[in-house]
Amino acid sequence: MINKSIVFTQKNKAEILESETDMLGRDDVLLKLEFSTISNGTERANITGEVNVSLIDKNTEAKFPRFGGYSSAGVVVAIGEGVTKVKVGDTVSGAPLIPCMKCADCQKGNYSLCKHYDFIGSHSFGSFCDYVVMPEANAIPYDPSIPFEQAAMFEP
């Protein structure tokens, strides 16, 4: 399936790129995105190539491509064979942090301190696209009577 994504390809330049949708793993869901928010801080950094100097060396240069969009809502359109908590057709809000679940911080339940994390919309394709693959644990089901615009704000 072809996926159109907004990708920040170099400083101050974004392009719409087409690619194949990521492979669906055993414990993953494929989400057709219906709404994504824009983060003033993160998206500005993605566009300008800024680096969060509080986390890394001030002399580090931003790497491209960079992916945007991490607060989102949509509909599950496919599930991996190990998925048990969501089903095709569910409306879900996407939680972007993907901790490694192996390091000492993760083992203590301190997922936000994980040093080996992935992050939807930063390290990997985000929600500025048609479809995104995410772990089932990151797909938070919600009542479909809630508008996508509101559900995309669950994460912030």
Per-residue pLDDT of the chain (156 residues; tens, 9 = 90+): 888 888 888 888 888 888 888 789 999 999 999 998 876 666 677 677 776 544 444 445 567 777 778 789 999 999 999 999 999 999 999 888 889 999 999 999 999 899 888 888 766 777 888 999 999 999 999 999 999 999 998 876
CA angle 28, 105, 57 (to 5 degrees): 95
Query: Dihedral of CA 52/21/92/79: which sign?
Result: negative
Q: Which residue has the tokens 């414990």?
A: 27
Using an 8 Å Cβ cutoff, are 99 and 110 in contact?
no
The whole-number pLDDT of residue 115 equals: 87
Q: How far is CA 117 from CA 71, 96, 98, 130, in A?
A: 17, 10, 6, 24
In the three-class reduction of DSSP (H, G, I as helix; E, B as strand; rest coil), residue 140 is classed as strand
The whole-number pLDDT of residue 21 equals: 80
Nearest to 76 by CA among 122, 128, 28: 28
pTM tops 0.85: no
Query: What letters, b where the CB count within 10 A reaches 16 and e where it falls short, cover 53-76?
Result: eeeeeeeeeeeeebbbbbbbbbbb
